[in-house]
Each structure stands twice: as structure tokens, then as C-alpha cells.
Structure 1
Amino acid sequence: MSGQIISLQGWFETPPGRYLLAWEQAQFDQAVADVFGYHALQLGVPAVDALRTNRMPHRWLALSEPDASSRAAALVTDFAALPFQANSLDLVVLPHTLELSPDPHTTLREVERVLVPEGRVVICGLNPASLWGMRQRRSLLYRRLGMGESYLPEAASLIGYWRMRDWLRLLGFEVESGRFGIYRPAARSDAWLERSRWLDRAGERWWPIFGAAYFLVAVKRVRGMRLLSAEWRRAAQRATASVPVAGRVGRDTPRTHKEGNGS
């Protein structure tokens, strides 16, 4: 069989794709339900309705190119140059967006620009350090030899979990939560995936970092700075100055004058 390239949309219709899609949809539903604000944006991958449980009044789906086969998108744009003002969005979700981007770091920097302080970014990606990632590397080798097809959808590159956390930290994000999922082996049939269902629970307990997918929620932190005037020195001096306290002369207080003897 000659080498074949499978798109993400087509891959989501395969048994492992449906398995991954169900897990990711559940994670997004839980993560965005209680994120409040006014404007939320999903970048790419319309197969995942990442904002369906969110209650913001303005929610949009943006695609990098027109796609008549998917649900309607509000805009088509370059993800590395979003048509939004700085500090204007409260939530941005990235379901495999960075993996499919030709310049993922620039895309993430653009997300940081448009998010308001304390805004959130939700990221889902495939873990190269997993059974699925190992299967993908092997299938890519076969493809170079003109044999077989890719197991995972074609992507620019799979970005590891810890590498993603480093990128977020460099851009001023604070990771609020992170988790792994998808521990069943890299099978292509529903039957094999169903037989290995017990591995989901075992994997979460015994080898959590080797899940085939990871999920991250990060918050944009803006460190504040307060300008001080020259008055702060005088204010500090006033605050530390001693204050005389009036007290009454008691039995144990020495007298400072002699009492008269009546003469």
C-alpha cells in the first residue's frame, strides 16, 4: 500500500478518533462551563464543540481556511495574526490547534496578546511520549519507505506536555490544571479498543504521564507594579515615629516631687 496522509477531520471518524473525540469533548465541557466573561474563541478543529457548555454571550469558531463540510465558522483568519484587539478575549480554546499550526509558538504568543489579564487558554494535544506517539513514529518511518499510512492525523509536530508548559510559562501564563487521558493501545478497530477498556483506569493510576492525550488550562497573569512618589519616605517616618502615651501615676510609679508636710 502506498503512503497515505489522513486529515484530522477524517481521522475523527475512525474508531480511535471517535474514542479520542469523546474524551476531549468531556474535558472541554467540564473545563469551560464555569469560565465567565463576555468573549470566547475556539481556534480550529470544528469536530470538537469546545464551547458548547460555556455561557458567555459571545462565542465564536475561527478556522484557518474555509471548510464547507464542518459547522459554520464566524471567521476565517491566520491564527498567528488574530483580528482582535489586545486584551479583548476572556477565553481561547485550542483543540490540537498548535499541533496543526506551521508556527505554534507564534500562535500561542498571539493568544496571549488577545487575552485579558486573568483570561484563560485551554489546550488539548497528543502526547508523543505514549503508545500512540510510538505508533505514529513507526508509521511515519514506513511512510517514508512508501508503505502503510499514518496512524494519527497529519500534524506539523506533536508537542510534548512539559514543552507546552514551558512555552506557557515563558509567555507569562500560570498552569491552573493539567491531566492526561487515553491509555488504550494504538488499535484501529472498535473491538480491540473495547477489550482494552480497563486500561483507562489502570493507566490513570499507574502510568498517568503516558496517556495518548493531555489537557491543560492556563491563566494569563499580569504582574502589577505600583509607582511610589517621594511622599512614601515621609509616610514611613510618620508610621514608625514614637507617640507619647499619657498614663496615670500609680502605686508603683516613682513620684517626681516631694509632698508638702503642711508647714
Structure 2
Amino acid sequence: MHQRDDDIYASAPLRRLLDEQTRALTPELQRCFGTHGLLLRTSANDVPPALPMLGCWTSLRLDNGCYRGDLQAAMNEPLPFVDDAFDLVVLRHVLEVTPSASALLNDAIRILAPGGVLVLTGVHPLSGWAPWFYWRTRGKSQTLRMPLRLGHDLRQAGLEIERMQRVGRLWPGRETTGSTPASAFGGGYVLIARKRRRMIAPLRIKPMPVRVSSSGQLSPGTRRSSAL
């Protein structure tokens, strides 16, 4: 029987689920490129994935109402980054522990560059993991988010959903041999969305009238309709 502890994300079942989510995301993330990526995480042992086409990472952990890691900031304030700063933003189970999931999600979209990728992972609320999760957290403020609802919110914010999938085991249990494939009843989910690029309105070119020479000949490429 599992014992409850203070850090659920350090427990063996959650560590296995994090590994399974990483394996599911790796092929997609290998295609991400750019200069900066941001990882927001709940586990002290979680590290940014090695991506050959991404320049550098900023990694922050949510811990006791603060962001800690490459910098320190209060969790109840906006993320301390300028708009469009990151080509890849990864939120690893952080929507389950933040006091305002909608505010954090909006902030992640704000700092994501046009054309950039946003990745969300979490425990699925309609799974065998949900009762175990709430039991282990002793009914604290953690809230499990429906990925379908998150997808709807992201579309409303102008992002395109590229992948939404459940992964992992049906319920927390002992470690088994071999990898666990994606499952329609998996205990976790991965969601990948891309921020649309800004549309640039093309300039309307106004034809300038040209005067015909005394010989009546037009220069090559001159439109006859624009000649006076």
C-alpha cells in the first residue's frame, strides 16, 4: 500500500509517469528549434530535454509560492520575462500546484514567441490516478485539469492544437518491465500547441503613371494601362 508523503512529485509512481510523458514527447520536441526554451516544473529532479536545435534553457521550479532555479520570483506575480521571449515553453504538472492556473497559462502564452510551441503535461482527472492523487495530497489546493478544457482555452487564445494524448498506466502501481505505450485510459496526458504567427498585411502597391516618350515606345516591363 502506498504511503502518503509531502512531495507527491518525488513519489515513485509520479516519477514513472513523468518518464513516460517524456518518452511520448521526445519525438515531437526533437523538431523544435530556436534560441530559448523555458521549463516550469514541479519535481526537483526534472531537467530540460536535450534538444539539438534549441539554443539554451531557463529552468524554474514551483516551490512554496515561489519560482526557484535560474532565477527567483514570486508565484503570484507575472513571469519575469518580456513578451515573445521563448520559442518553447514546457509546463510539467505546474497547473496542478499553481494558485491560479488560468493566469499562469495566459502568462505562458504571452512569453511564447509567434510560431513557438507550448507543451503541457499533467495527471488526467478522469483516470484511476485521480483518487490516489487527491489522497496523497491530503485534499490540498492541487487541482487536476481536463486537457479538453485546456485545449479549448488555448484555441480561444489563438493557438493551434497539434497533439492531445493520454499516456501512462491505467493506475499507479508497481514498476513493470518495458515501456508503456500511449493508452486511451492512461493516467497522464500530453498536450502540444503552437502559437500562430502574426499575419502581416501586404502593402497595396499603387501604380504610378508614366509618360510615353515622343517616339511612342514604352520601356520593357511598363504596364500600358498606367501610361498617360
Please tell me the TM-score bracket, short chain as reference. 0.7 to 0.9
> Post-superposition shift, 1:43?
1.3
Residue type at the aligned position of 1:81: P
> Post-superposition shift, 1:156?
2.5
Counterpart for residue 114 of structure 1: 111
Identical residues among aligned pairs (%): 24
Q: Quick check: 2:147–2:164 contact (8 Å CA) kept in 1?
A: no
Residue number among 138, 158, 163 corresponding to 2:149 in the alignment: 163
Structure with the higher strand share, 1 or 2: 2
Specify every segment of 5 or more residues in structure 2 that has no aligned partner in the other structure, as ranges. Answer: 208-222
C-alpha change, 1:26 and 1:50, in structure 2 (3 Å) is farther
> Post-superposition shift, 1:53?
3.5
Q: Quick check: 2:97–2:141 contact (8 Å CA) kept in 1?
A: yes
The whole-number CA distance in structure 2 between the counterparts of 1:60 and 1:89 is 9
Counterpart for residue 36 of structure 2: 39
Residue number among 207, 212, 219 corresponding to 2:194 in the alignment: 219
> Post-superposition shift, 1:39?
0.6
The whole-number CA distance in structure 2 between the counterparts of 1:179 and 1:56 is 24
> Post-superposition shift, 1:128?
0.4
User: What are the equivalent positions in structure 2 for 1:135-150 lying under 5 Å apart?
Assistant: 135-136=132-133, 139=135, 149-150=136-137
Q: Quick check: 1:65–1:76 contact (8 Å CA) kept in 2?
A: no
User: What are the equivalent positions in structure 2 for 1:60-139 lying under 5 Å apart?
Assistant: 60-65=58-63, 73-78=69-74, 80-136=77-133, 139=135
Bigger Rg, which one = 1
Please state if 1:176 is matched with 2:162: yes
Size of the aligned set, in residue pairs, is: 204
C-alpha change, 1:83 and 1:32, in structure 2 (3 Å) is same
C-alpha change, 1:59 and 1:15, in structure 2 (3 Å) is closer
TM-score, normalised on structure 1? Answer: 0.65
Residue type at the aligned position of 1:49: V
C-alpha change, 1:160 and 1:128, in structure 2 (3 Å) is same
TM-score, normalised on structure 2? Answer: 0.74
> Post-superposition shift, 1:223?
4.8
C-alpha change, 1:226 and 1:76, in structure 2 (3 Å) is same
The whole-number CA distance in structure 2 between the counterparts of 1:37 and 1:74 is 19
The whole-number CA distance in structure 2 between the counterparts of 1:5 and 1:155 is 16
Q: Quick check: 1:25–1:49 contact (8 Å CA) kept in 2?
A: no
Counterpart for residue 51 of structure 1: 49
C-alpha change, 1:14 and 1:136, in structure 2 (3 Å) is closer
- When the two chains are superposed, the root-mean-square deviation of aligned CA atoms in Å is 3.4
CA deviations 1:6-59 (Å, max 9, x no partner) are 44xx33443312321321232343332221000111113242223334542221
Partner SS, residue 126 of structure 2:
coil
Specify every segment of 5 or more residues in structure 1 that has no aligned partner in the other structure, as ranges. Answer: 140-148, 233-238, 242-263
